[in-house]
A = this chain, B = another copy of it.
Amino acid sequence: MGPGPINADPRVLRAMSAQLVGQYDPAMTAYMNETMALYRAVFRTDNEATLLIDGTSRAGIEAALVSMIEPGDRVLVPIFGRFGHLLREIAERCGADVHVIEREWGTVFTPAEVEAAITGIRPKILAIVHGDTSTTLAQPLDELGAICERNGVILYTDVTASLAGNAFELDAWGVDVATAGLQKCLAGPSGSAPISLSAKAVELVNSRKSVEAGIRSEGDAVSASPIRSNYFDLSQILDYWGPKRLNHHTEATSMLYAARECARLLVQEGMDNAVERHRLHGTAMVTGLSAMGLELFGDQSVRMNNVVGVEIPAGIDGDGVRAALLQDFGIEIGTSFGPLHGRVWRIGTMGYNARRDTVLTTLAALEQVLRRRGFSLTAGSGVGAALDFYND
C-alpha cells in the first residue's frame, strides 16, 4: 500500500508466464499491434505512434527527451516535487539549456504561472510531471496544451504515477508526448514504459533519424544532428514497431505480455470506471486517515486519487511505524524524498490494491501500530469512517 510499485494484478503475472515467440513471428507482431491499439485507449489518443519502451518508467522519460532535445535546445521544467527534478536532470544530460520554475512541495502551478514562464523563456519543450508521487499531487494539465499550442511549444508530460487512476486525456488536452510505467495504477510490474507521440512530435523525432549502421541501406536517412542514444532513439523504435519492422532491440516479450494485459484489463473495465474506482477507494482511505486524527500533506484539491501524504505525528517514529506495518502485518507504506523524507508517509490505493479490503485492513493495522506507540486515537475511528463512506 505504498506509492508504487505495488502488488500486481494476478492476471498480469499470469500473462507473463506465456511461452515466448520469435520477434518477427506473425503472432508476435500481432501482439505488438494489439498493444499499440490498447494503449491508445488508455492514453485517450488517436496517435499512431503509441508503443512501449523496454525499460522502467524513467526509460520512457529519457526516450522522449533525448529523441526530441538537440543540445542547446531550451527546455522549461516546472518543478513541484522530486520527479520534476528528475525531468530537469535528464534534460540537462541530453544537453538542453534547462530553465526551471519551482513551487513549494505540496502545491502546484497555475496555468498563468506556466504561461508567464513560457513567454519569458520561449522554450522548445515544456516538460512537466502530471502526478508527482513524491508530493502526491497532480498538476492540472487540461489548459497547458492550448498554452503550448499558441506559443509553439511541444508539451511533454510524464503520467507514470497518475495514469488510469486520474483523468488523463492526451488528445483533448493537447499533449504532444506522454510516458508512463506499469507499476502504479496499471497494476503491473516495473519494466515497460508505454509512450504516445503526436504527429508533431513524430515529425520532430523523425527529422533527426539515422538508420542504424549495421542495417543501413543505400539512400537511408543519416542525420546531421543524430539522437544521442541508440537504445532510446524513437525514430528507430518507431520503425521497429511500424510496418517496416526494422530490427532494433529485441522486444522484451514477457514485459510486452504484461503491458498488454494491464491495458486489456483497463479497457475492459473502462477508463472512466478505473478512475472512479481509484477515486472511491482513495477517498475512503483519506476519510479513514482523517477520522483517526491524522493530518494530510499538501493541497488536497489537487491530490491524486491513488496516493495520499500523511504528516507523521509529532513524537512518532515514522520509520518504526513503517517497519511494524511491514513486519507484523505484511503491509508496506512509504515515506518520501528530500524535504519530505521522514516528515510524511505516503499511502497508496492503486491498481490491484485499490480495493475495499485493502483500505480497511490498512486502516485497521495502522490503528494498532499507532496505538502501541502512544498515539491517541478513538478505537475503530478510521475503519468506521471508511465503512460509513462506503455505505453512503
Contact = CB atoms under 8 A, between A and B. Distances in A.
A351 to B, nearest CB: 10
Given A54-B55, A191-B54, A5 B250 contact: yes
B20 A17 contact: no
Interface in A38-68: 54-59, 62, 66
Contact of A5 (B13, B17, B22, B181): B22
Given A5-B23, A189-B252, A230 B88 contact: no
Of A17, A95, A231, A248, most buried by chain B (CB within 10 Å of CB) is: A231
Of A82, A85, A90, A229, most buried by chain B (CB within 10 Å of CB) is: A229
A165 interface: no
How many copies of this kind of chain does the complex include? 2
B338 A191 contact: no
A190 B230 contact: no
Nearest to A18: B13
Of A56, A93, A181, A214, most buried by chain B (CB within 10 Å of CB) is: A214
A82 B215 contact: yes
Interface stretch (A147-155, A253-261, A306-314, A355-363): A253-261
A73 interface: no
Interface string A1-42: 010111110100110111111110100000000000000000
A89 B251 CA distance: 19
Interface of A: 2, 4-8, 10, 13-14, 16-23, 25, 54-59, 62, 66, 82-86, 88-90, 92-95, 134, 181, 183, 189-191, 212-215, 226-233, 247-255, 258, 326, 332, 334, 337-338
